[in-house]
Amino acid sequence: MCDVDTPLPYDYIRTEGQAGRMGARLMAVVAEGDHRRVYLSPTEMMEAVANQAKPEWKPDNVLR
């Protein structure tokens, strides 16, 4: 079980990235409300739309 209050060590994150085990997941949708932002949990449809996005740029540096 993962303790959500404990950050992961940088070495672990780097090792997982180098092994090709990093991914992306939609965590929230942010909408403009009346003088504030509203944070919404994503629906399956929102995740499907986000997964179809084709970024014009992505990082090109090598994890060391």
Question: pLDDT by residue (tens digit) across 11-53?
Answer: 998 899 889 898 888 999 999 989 999 999 999 999 999 999 9
Q: Which of 2-6, 7-11, 20-24, 58-62 has the lowest mean pLDDT?
A: 2-6
Residue 37 · residue 31 · CB < 8 Å:
yes
Residue 43: other Cβ atoms inside 10 A: 11
Nearest to 17 by CA among 54, 56, 62: 62
Q: How far apart are CA 61 and CA 35, in angstroms?
A: 38
Residue 26 · residue 48 · CB < 8 Å:
no
